[in-house]
Amino acid sequence: MKVIATLLTGTLLFGCASVNMLPAAVNEVDFDSPEGKTGWSKYEQVETFHGYTTTQIYEALKVGLGESGFSLRLADKSKGVVIGEHGITLHDWNVIAGAYFKEDGNATVIKIIIEGSKDTGISGDVTGDGWTGQILGATSRYLNDNYQSVLKVNRDDM
């Protein structure tokens, strides 16, 4: 009985996703690495947003995480990072999402990295693969609803 309790406690403690699993700053992120499912319970996606400032993107990412059910754990504009945690889901003890952003000319490139808990479960990893799209979708809606991008302003002036 002690062995089962110890194993269960270890799985819960060491299987949970934590902020330490993600890069601490944008300069630690490879924006050219493969996208999609890239690990046991890891998903990555990159998108480019044109005509918004990094301040607007930073604010939008915080809202995008929140609207996707994530609680803010770390936000540092100077490091180009916003990290949130989602509690227990049908498939995971918890999920951590990192949103990283950097300027690229007249655009801002965003990379979302999702890490689910490392529990083995009966069917292996079943972390939802839609988290990246949910976060990016909510971020995009916030930008569209609250800011007029520089590109839109420039087109109207023509």
Confidence of residue 123 (pLDDT cuts 50, 70, 90): very low
- Average pLDDT estimate for 125-149: 84
Rounded Cα gap, residues 15 and 60, in angstroms = 30
> Comparing C-alpha atoms, which of 54, 55, 135 is closest to residue 95?
135
pTM of the model: 0.80
Q: Residue 11: pLDDT above 50?
A: no
And the tokens for 153? 């302003």
pLDDT at 3: 41
Range 51-68 average pLDDT: 96
Across the range 8-22, mean pLDDT stands at 56
Average pLDDT of the residues in 128-141:
90
The CA-based diameter of the chain, rounded to the nearest angstrom, is: 75
pLDDT digits over 80-122, tens only? 999 999 877 666 678 899 999 999 998 999 999 998 876 555 4
Which pLDDT belongs to residue 27?
Answer: 98
